[in-house]
Amino acid sequence: MAQVMALTAPFLALIAKLLSGANVRWIDSQPDTCQRVYFANHTSHLDALVLWSCLPREVRSVTRAVAARDYWEGGAVRRHIARSFNVLLIDRENIKVHQSPVERMIREIGNRYSLIVFPEGGRTSGDEMGEFKSGLYYLAKKRPELELVPVYMENLNRVLPRGEVLPVPLLSCITFGPPMWLEAGEPKTDFLARARQAVRRLKDL
Amino acid sequence: MTNNGWWPWSTLQQLIAAAPVESAGEQPRAQIYWLLGVVIGLLAIAYAVSVWLKRYPEGTLNPALVERFVNRIRVWWIMCAILVAGFMLGPVATVILFGAVSFWSLREFITTTPTRRGDHRALFWVFFGFTPLQYILVGLSLSWDLYTLYSIVIPVFAFLYIPARIAVAGDPRRFLERAAKIQAGLFICVYALSFAPALLNLPLRPRAEDAAWAGDSHLARSGLLFYLVLLTQLADVFQNAWSRLVGRRVIAPEISATRTWEGFLGGVTSTTLIGALLWWATPFGFWEAACMSMIVAVTAFAGNMVMSAIKRDRNVADFGTLVQGHPGVLDRIDSICFAAPVFYHLTRHFFSALG
C-alpha cells in the first residue's frame, strides 16, 4: 500500500494542479513544515485536493486535509484518492461525545502533522462566504501554538461546481495569507469573525 | 498561377512578371535556414539588450517598459522554440504544440468570461471534445485532406451544440449572450488559430520562375508558417513603434489609448516592405509576398483591436492579469488568431494545388 501511495500522491498533485491551472501566491507568508492549520473558503469538492497539491512536496507529506467521510468514502475511486493524499475523514452525521471531530483532529496530528480545514462546514455557492463554524476556535483553544494560515481559493467553484463530476479546466488562484493566532481571552464570535475576515481580505489582494 | 478572370489578379501577374527574379541556384532548404538564422540572431541581440537594460541604474528608465520588453523577448523565444520544434520533429509536433496553445488561450478566455452553472456541461465538451477534435482533424489532414471536416466542425457542429446544451441545462438568464461568448472563445482561440498549423497541409505550387523551389516539402511549408508568425509579430512591433514616434490621431480611445492611425499606416507599410523583401523564403513572388504581408498586417491589427475591445469590456489590462500572475498567452497570439485563417485561405486558393 505504501508503494502505491508513493506513486499516486505526486501524480495526483500534478493532475490537480494541471486541471485547476492553480496559480499559488504566498502573501506575507512562507511555506513551512511547522505545525499549521490552513483554513480556507469552501466552494468545490476539489478544494481539499487542490490546496494540498499547491503546497511544496515536503510540506505536503506532513499535511492532512480534513474532509467529510460520507463524500470521500462514496465509491472506490474517491476512497482511493482520499487514501492517496492521506485525508483525515470526519463523520458529519453521528458525532459522539468523546469522538468530537476536534478531539480526533488533535489526536491524529500529534506533534507532526498540519491540517487543512474548511470552517464553513459545507460548500457555499461561491459568491459570498458562509459563517465559520466553531471547530476552528476549539482547535485553536486546545492547541494555541498552532499557526493558523488563512487561504483564499478563487474560481474552483467554476472548475467543479456542486453536483458535477466532470471538471472544466479554468484557471484558478490560491492565496496563502499571514499566520494568525487566537488572542488570550478572545471571545469565540470575535475570533471566528476575524478568521473569516482574514480569508475574505485575500480575495482583493 | 491560374488566371481566374479576377481582373486585379491578372494585373498583379503582369506586375509579378516585372518583379526582380533571383538566380535559381539556391535550395529552399538553405533559404529557410537563412531566415531562421537571421531571426534567431536578432532575438539574441534583443536578449542581450534586455539583460543590459535590467542592469541599468534604477530610476533612469521606466521599469514597466523594460519589463514589457523583457517579457516580449521571452515570448518570442518561446514562439521560436515552438516553430523550430516543428521544423525538427515534424508536422505532427507542430500541430500538437499549437493545440496546446489553443487550449491554454481558451482557458484564459473562458476564465475571464462570466459563465453560469448551466454552461458547465457545454464547456466541458468545448474543452475536451471540440478543441482536441479540431486539432486531430488538422493533424490527420497531413495524410488525408479533411478540409471539409475541420473547416466546419466548429462553425457548424459546435456552434449548434453549445446553445442546445445550455438550453437543456435549463437556465434562461442571458441565454444568447452566454452561448455567444463561448462560441466566440472557441472560434478565436481554437478554430482561427488552428489554420496556422493547417498551413502544413497545403501542397504548395512551385514558383513559376524558380525551378529550384521545392514548394511541396515539409520545410517549405514550415517556412511559410514561420513567415506568417514573423509577420504578425513584426506588424505588432512596427505599429507600436510608429504610434510612439509619430502617432497623433488615436483610432478608438476607449478601446486602446495607444493605437493611432499613423501607427496603423506606418505598421502596415513597414510590414509589407519587410514581407516583400523576404519573398525568397515563401512560395510567393515579390509582389505577391507584398500583398500577402499587407493583408497579414491589416488582419493582425484587427485581431489586436478586437481582443482589446473584449478586454476593455471586462475591465482588464491583459488576459494574464485577471487571474493573478498567469502569463497572458491570449495577449500574445491575438494577431495570429486573426491573420491565420485569412492567410491560409488565400494561400490555399491562389498558391496551392487544392485551390
* Residues of chain A with C-beta less than 8 angstroms from the C-beta of B115: 158
Q: Does A25 touch chain B (CB under 8 A)?
A: yes
Is the CA virtual torsion B88, B94, B96, B98 positive or negative? positive
Cβ of B120 and A173 within 8 Å? no
Q: In a mutagenesis test of the A interface, which of B111, B119, B123, B182 is the best target, namely the one with the most A β-carbons within 10 Å?
A: B111
Q: Tell me the pLDDT band of A104, cut-offs 50, 70 and 90.
A: confident
Cβ of B107 and A170 within 8 Å? yes
Nearest CA in chain B to A168: B124
Q: State mean pLDDT over B240-250.
A: 88
Q: What is the pLDDT at residue B185?
A: 95
Q: In a mutagenesis test of the B interface, which of A125, A170, A175, A203 is the best target, namely the one with the most B β-carbons within 10 Å?
A: A170
Q: Among A155, A161, A175, whose Cβ lies nearest the Cβ of B111?
A: A155
- pLDDT over 60 (residue B326): no
Please identify among residues 105-164 of chain A the ones whose CB lies closer than 8 Å to any CB of chain B: 154-155, 158, 161, 164
Q: Does A79 touch chain B (CB under 8 A)?
A: no
Nearest-angstrom CA–CA distance, A173 and B309: 25
Q: Does A166 touch chain B (CB under 8 A)?
A: yes
pLDDT digits (tens, 9 = 90+) for A70-96: 888 888 888 888 888 888 888 776 656
- pLDDT over 90 (residue A132): no
Nearest CA of chain B to the CA of A180: how many Å? 24
Q: What is the pLDDT at residue A125?
A: 60
Number of CB atoms found within 10 A of residue B124's CB? 17
Q: In a mutagenesis test of the A interface, which of B121, B124, B165, B178 is the best target, namely the one with the most A β-carbons within 10 Å?
A: B124
**Grid cell at residue A179:** 499566520
Q: Is B156 left (phi over 0), alpha (psi -120 to 50) or beta?
A: alpha
Number of CB atoms found within 10 A of residue B18's CB? 9
What is the residue whose three cell numbers read 507529506? A61
pLDDT digits (tens, 9 = 90+) for B13-56: 554 444 444 444 444 556 777 888 888 888 888 888 888 877 76
* H-helix or E-strand spanning residue A147: strand A147-154
Task: Specify the higher pLDDT residue, A92 or B325.
Answer: A92
Nearest CA of chain B to the CA of A98: how many Å? 41
pTM here is 0.84
Q: What is the pLDDT at residue A123?
A: 65
Number of CB atoms found within 10 A of residue B73's CB? 18
Q: Does A165 touch chain B (CB under 8 A)?
A: no
**Grid cell at residue B40:** 534567431
Helix (H, G, I), strand (E, B) or coil at A51: helix
CB distance A40 to A160 below 8 Å = no
Q: What is the pLDDT at residue A1?
A: 46
Which region among A157-166, B188-197, B227-236, B296-305 has the lowest average model confidence (pLDDT)? A157-166
Nearest-angstrom CA–CA distance, B313 and A91: 46
Please tell me which of A28-37, A97-106, B20-29 the model is most confident about, judged by mean pLDDT.
A28-37
CA-based nearest residue to B325, from A45, A166, A23, A117: A23
- pLDDT over 70 (residue B113): yes
Nearest CA of chain B to the CA of A155: how many Å? 8
What ranges in chain B are assigned the alpha helix state H? 7-18, 28-55, 63-89, 91-112, 120-125, 131-140, 147-150, 159-169, 175-186, 193-194, 218-246, 261-277, 286-313, 319-322, 329-351
Q: Does A169 touch chain B (CB under 8 A)?
A: yes
Q: Tell me the pLDDT band of A8, cut-offs 50, 70 and 90.
A: confident
- pLDDT over 90 (residue B154): yes
- pLDDT over 50 (residue B1): no
CA-based nearest residue to A159, from A12, A15, A11, A10: A15
Q: What is the pLDDT at residue B342?
A: 96
* Residues of chain A with C-beta less than 8 angstroms from the C-beta of B325: 23, 25, 173
Q: Does B116 touch chain A (CB under 8 A)?
A: no
Q: Among A25, A168, A169, whose Cβ lies nearest the Cβ of B325?
A: A25
Q: What is the pLDDT at residue B2?
A: 42
* Residues of chain A with C-beta less than 8 angstroms from the C-beta of B127: 168-169
* Residues of chain B with C-beta less than 8 angstroms from the C-beta of A46: none
CB distance A116 to A66 below 8 Å = yes
Average pLDDT, chain B: 83
What is the residue whose three cell numbers read 475536451? B128
Nearest-angstrom CA–CA distance, A106 and A108: 6
Cβ of B107 and A169 within 8 Å? yes
Q: Tell me the pLDDT band of B12, cut-offs 50, 70 and 90.
A: very low
Which region among A133-137, B278-282, B326-330 has the lowest average model confidence (pLDDT)? B326-330
